[in-house]
Amino acid sequence: MPHRNFLIKRFNELWRYDDEGVPWKVIDGEREFFWVQKKTEEKRIYYTRENENAPAEVLLNPNKWDTTETLLGFYTSRDGKYIAFGKARGGDENPVINIMEVATKKILPDTLRGWRQFGVSWLPDNSGFFYSANPQKGKVPEGEEHYWQAVYLHRLGTPAEQDEKVFSHDEVKEFSHDASVSEDGKYVLFCRGMFNRNEMYFKKIGSSKPPIPLVTGFDSYYDIRLIEDKFFITTDLDAPMYKVYVTNVDKPERENWREFIPENKKDKLSYIRGIAGNIYAVYQHNAYQQVKIYTIDGEHIRDLPFSTYGTSRVSGYWSKPDIWVRFSSFTYPVTTFKYDFDDDSLKVYKEFPLDIDVDNYTAEQIWYKSKDGTPVSMFLVHRKGLKKDGSNPTLLTGYGGFNISIMPRFSTTFIVWLESGGMIAMPNLRGGGEYGKNWHEAGMREKKQNVFDDFISAAEWLIKNKYTNPEKLAISGGSNGGLLVGAATVQQPELFKVVNCAVPLLDMIRYHKFGYANIWTEEYGNADNPEQFEYLYKYSPYHNVKNGTDYPAMFITGSENDARVDPLHVRKMVARMQEANPNGEPILLSIEKESGHGGGTTLSAQIEQSAEYWAFLMYFLGMEIPEDQE
């Protein structure tokens, strides 16, 4: 396809550049760590220095590892004397933790228990750390090694066999478990989760007593921050848009909780962070973010002064003065600011390193009605002065699941699509987290069809309002978004010209029997339950392919090392669709051998993979290569 070489060239121009990450300091001390990406290298290199004025030295260079090995997890001790880092292979999301002494660059002989080792949280005295891991194959019944995650405590210099299991569950294999040491080093918080519901426990560091329950019963979602011996509890308990409670560490019982930030009935509270002596609350307003600042006593001070709508991330320590803000939008390249609290200003620390002309493009938000009349928001990104004559090549993409929010963000991949004359449409579907708990639950289990209806209605709105037509409409989605476009394709094939369906769930009757996918029954349901079988079978893309149907062209991708979605889904779907209409549009299968759920392990592999499916979409929409790129 002629677009492939153009895309490889353009992606190399946009994805390969010399870049440096914002340094992060350790909690105790001045040592800094940061990464450097060189345009000639495939992976980031990690550096350290004793303080911001000291010379930097290379700490880890994954470019010297095997091509398929990647860094997955980087955990500094509180004073920066040690790091623990995970090394995964071929995108398998199964990191093996190594421990390095920073001053000497020596790798310690320590090993850990289990596999899929994540979430290292160091003890304040450097004597060891907590981590999460799954049991090794053979230690549990066959197949169950994907479950039974537990928290262990490793002491430096001791063998893995002596690591103590400190937090787990003996009856429900699907529960996740993790631990984190508070910033002040006094406590460790334990979380037992099942996606959107969890339990929380805590204990003093060094205590031999069992963890103290803070919230139990799996009645809601809780995120807990420990600041100055107070628990700040963000929850959707009786608050679909989330609220914050506060209580003292010595009075953790629910009857002692006091309201800190009340629920905002219009805007969802995403999270809070305690930074430099104040509380920063990040809200989602109409699927974009706003940041409000509160005192530790709950008094609203002001909002952060963003110049446009977009997505932000606020970070820093309670005990340190630096306040970092990362911000981007569809036409606002990623920028890192330092926030000056005293004069209420965002000072640019690091801008996007490439000069990309975004002045010709604009983003707008519209609302349309879904099949059942529910209003749904959608972002449209396109050239200024776009003609609504029904001829615009349009990419419709979405997610709609797991309480995940789709918000404005800068994407160089989208820029290439726009440069080529295309338009992007991103609806905020039910099942996502843009509008709170009720919005998410309206797209779960027996209500999953709402998500597909929202997506199909978005396509119909775009066509009706003369933005595009079915011959110029492409759809794309990955993972749960792959299920989305798979379902939309088999339900309304006449609406779409071409489909990119990446690492998807497509057989919803048997999905839960492979890997650790049974944990997703909380979101989708389980076909072993007769009632849930009925609605799963009704929308399962694989089971609803119909012989003789004129399906759009499809590029369906899977990854051999995908830890989340077994590639059996794409193999079965392609075989079934080719059987259903052997003389129709091409239905192509691509299985990446050294890739995981997130794609290739090197920049070159990611560029090649992306160029393939974007070329497929552009070819079938009849898009032209920009004249200055031919």
Q: Residue 296: in which H helix or E strand, if any?
A: none
Reduced to 3 DSSP states, what percent helix, strand and coil does the chain have, rounded to the nearest 5?
Answer: 20, 35, 45
Question: Is the CB of residue 293 less than 8 Å from the CB of residue 300?
Answer: yes
C-beta pairs of 308-316 under 8 Å, 24+ apart in sequence: 308/332, 309/365, 309/408, 310/407, 310/408, 310/409, 311/407, 311/408, 311/409, 312/282, 313/282, 314/273, 314/275, 314/280, 314/282, 314/339, 315/273, 315/275, 316/273, 316/275, 316/276
> How many whole angstroms separate alpha carbon 185 and alpha carbon 27?
10
> How many whole angstroms separate alpha carbon 370 and alpha carbon 222?
31
Nearest to 467 by CA among 386, 522, 534, 547: 386
Nearest to 500 by CA among 588, 626, 627, 593: 588
- Extract the runs of DSSP E, i.e. beta strands, from 206-299: 212-215, 222-227, 230-235, 243-248, 258-261, 268-275, 278-285, 288-294
Distances (CA, A) of 155 to 209, 489, 521: 18, 53, 36
Distances (CA, A) of 388 to 213, 329, 425, 617, 621: 58, 24, 14, 21, 17
Q: Residue 578: in which H helix or E strand, if any?
A: helix 568-580
Residue found under tokens 């679909």: 240
Question: Is the CB of residue 166 less than 8 Å from the CB of residue 179?
Answer: yes
Q: Which two tokens stand for residue 602?
A: 């090197």
> How many whole angstroms separate alpha carbon 488 and alpha carbon 458?
11
Residue 10: what are its φ and ψ, rounded to 5°? -70, -40
Residues 6+ away with beta carbon under 8 Å from 54: none
Question: Is the CB of residue 605 less than 8 Å from the CB of residue 595?
Answer: yes
Q: Is 300 an annotated catalytic residue? A: no
Residue 175: what are its φ and ψ, rounded to 5°? -65, 140
Distances (CA, A) of 441 to 220, 237, 430, 460: 13, 14, 8, 24
Question: Is the CB of residue 557 less than 8 Å from the CB of residue 570?
Answer: yes
Q: Is 479 an annotated catalytic residue? A: yes
Instruction: Report the chain's C-alpha Rg in angstroms.
Output: 25
Provide DSSP, 425-479. EEE--TTSSTT-HHHHHTTSGGGTHHHHHHHHHHHHHHHHTTS--GGGEEEEEET
606: three-class secondary structure by DSSP: helix
Nearest to 60 by CA among 82, 78, 90: 82
**469 beta partners:** none
Question: Is the CB of residue 324 less than 8 Å from the CB of residue 334?
Answer: no
Catalytic residue among 476, 569, 597, 610: 597
Catalytic residue among 479, 540, 595, 610: 479
Residue found under tokens 């004073």: 79
Residues 6+ away with beta carbon under 8 Å from 142: none
**Which residues are catalytic, by number?**
479, 597
